[in-house]
Each structure stands twice: as C-alpha cells, then as structure tokens.
Amino acid sequence: MIFSSNPARGSRILNGLALLGVTAVLGMAFFWQFAYGELPCPLCLLQRAALIMAGVGFLLNLRLGPSPMHYAMSIAAALGGMLASGRQVLLHIAPDDPGYGAPLLGLHFYTWSFIAFVAIIVFCAVMLSADRKWGDSMLKKPVSALGVLVMALFFVATLANVGSTTLECGFGPCPDDPAGYLLLDSAAPR
Amino acid sequence: MVMMLPFLTGLAAVWFGMLGKRRPCVTFWLLTLAIFAAWCQYHMTSPLALSF
C-alpha cells in the first residue's frame, strides 16, 4: 500500500489530458454536425457512444486513481468503436464511392475515428505498463479545478449528444441516411 | 431499438463517475456496452458492397 495525499498525480494528469482529447473529438464532431448540417448516421452515433464509454475509463482514472480495470474499460470501448468505424470504412472502400459526409484533411470522420480508437488502445497499453505500482482503489482522490473543468466539459458533451440524438432519432431507431431532425420535423406546423 | 438509449445510460455512467461512485458508474457502463453490442448487431449485418 502506498500512503500519499495525492497518489498517482502524474498518471491522473495524463488521463485528464486523454479525457480532454476525447471531449475535443466529440466537440469537433458536434461542430461539424451543426456548421455543415451533416447529420450523423447510426454507425457514426455508435462511434460517439464508444468514445463516451472510453472516456468513462479515463474519467474514473482521474477521479479514483489509475486502475487496470479502468484501462480495460477504455480498451473494450475502443475495440467496439474500431468495430463500428472499421465497418463504415469497409462500407465506403469501393472505388468511386464518395463516402459519407465531407472529409476533414483528406480523411472522412469514420477513418479519423478508427485512428482515434487505435490511439486510445496504444495510450492504455503504454499507461498500463508504466502505471503498475498503484493497484486498485475506490477512494476518491483530490481533483484540481482544471480536472473538474475537464470532467464537466465531458459531461456537457455527453449531455449534448443525448439531446441531439433524441432530436434526430426520437425514441426509436435512426434511419440509415438521416435527412432531418425527426422530433423537430414532427413538431413543425404543417 | 431506441438509438438515444446508450447515450442516456452513458450519461448516467459519466455522472456517477464524476461523483466518484464506481459501482453504479461501472453498472451503467456495462449496460451501455450491452446496448452498444445489440445496436451494432442491428446495424452491421447487411452485406458489404465488396466483390472479391
């Protein structure tokens, strides 16, 4: 057992930065959705859900201290995300297929998403080999104001996704090629 | 099939994670993963447009 008032500080800062990265990716996808009017398809939404699940592992590392279980949560979520984004890459891999949505820096969002999930797994692999001495603890650790801000931003990004997905799909399945916000369209006067 | 459901359970996991309550956080995270897997099965079983 290690006695310290603020154990694994460095590791928790790195996990905070990883959580900030996940929040930035979710924010970028959200910005693209509203700035360019591109609605996320069901597979895109599944990739967002996987990003949120991966972020929860980093959030627990930041809040409770690093644990192999928290890293395993992020790795499992990233593997799920790779499955969804890999499937979407394969859907549009045929020659002359324009892909879904506008590309960013030459790559479509699902390709960037696949790269992000690989990066999450690499990050977890490196951290798991460096973070060996802390074990597992369910006790809350002190979090700085910046850490609280990062967690709050992640919460807001998740909440915004709940709202946007509900507006887009309502309380049912999403169409494969969404054309508008289902709830807004049904509420608009005819 | 409710598309917003994994986001809702994910939000609950994030909320409990922020509060430092690991058990409910992990429970909601597992629920999110199960819904995610079911929705993947729903959306990923159509054939790909590939011919080799």
Instruction: Report the residue from B13, B40, B43 with minimal CB separation from A56.
Output: B13
Q: Is the pLDDT of residue B1 over 60?
A: yes
Q: What residues in B contact A152, CB-CB < 8 Å? A: 18
Q: Which tens digits make up the pLDDT trace of A82-92?
A: 999 998 888 88
The answer to whether residue A1 is domain-embedded is: no
**How does DSSP assign B13-51, residue by residue?**
HHHHHHHT-HHHHHHHHHHHHHHHHHHHHHHS-SPPS--
Q: Please indicate, yes or no, if residue A68 is contained in any of the structural domains.
A: yes
pLDDT mean over A134-158: 87
- Overall domain count for chain A: 1
Which of A158, A164, A182 is most worth mutating to test chain B (most B CB atoms within 10 A of its CB)?
A158
Q: What pLDDT does B48 receive? A: 65
Q: Confirm whether A57 is domain-assigned.
A: yes
- Do the Cβ atoms of A73 and B29 come within 8 Å? yes
As a whole number of angstroms, the distance between CA A60 and CA B22 comes to 7
Mean pLDDT over each residue of chain A, to the nearest integer: 87
> Is the Cβ–Cβ distance between A152 and A39 less than 8 Å?
no
Report domain extents, chain B.
5-37
8-state DSSP, A107: B
Question: How far, in Å, CA of A5 to CA of A118, rounded?
Answer: 34
- The tally of CA atoms less than 13 A away on the side-chain side of residue A165 is 29
In this complex, is the C-beta atom of B25 within 8 Å of any C-beta atom belonging to chain A?
A: yes
- Residue A153 maps to a domain: yes
Whether residue A147 lies inside any domain: the answer is yes
SS3 A106: coil
Q: Smallest Cα–Cα separation from A120: which of A14, A33, A7?
A: A14
In chain A, residues with a C-beta closer than 8 Å to the C-beta of B15 are: 155
Give CA–CA dist A65/A56, Å, rounded. Answer: 13
- Taking a C-beta distance cutoff of 8 angstroms, is the pair A83, B43 a contact? no
User: Residue A102 to residues A29, A33, A159, B13: CA-CA distances in angstroms?
Assistant: 12, 11, 25, 32
- Residue pair A64/B22 in contact (Cβ under 8 Å)? The answer is yes
Sign of the C-alpha dihedral, residues B40, B46, B49, B52? positive
- For residue A24, the domain's CATH number is 1.20.1550
A2 within a domain of the structure (yes/no): no
Residue A151: is its pLDDT beyond 80? yes
Domain of residue A19 covers 9-187
Contacts of B24 (CB under 8 A, 6+ apart): B12, B16
* Closest CB from B23, B39, B44 relative to A87: B44
Q: Where are the alpha helices (DSSP H) in A131-144?
A: none
Range of lowest pLDDT (A61-65, A168-172, A181-185):
A181-185
pLDDT for the residue numbered A49: 96
Residue A77 lies in a domain: yes
The complex's ipTM?
0.90
- Residue pLDDT, tens place only, A101-132: 778 788 888 899 999 999 999 999 999 988 77
Residue A4 forms part of a structural domain: no
Angle at A171 between CA B6 and CA A188, to 5 degrees: 135
State how far the alpha carbon of A28 is from the alpha carbons of A54, A58, A138, A179, B42, in Å: 17, 19, 32, 21, 27
Query: CB–CB of B1 and A172 under 8 A?
Result: yes
* pLDDT for the residue numbered A17: 95
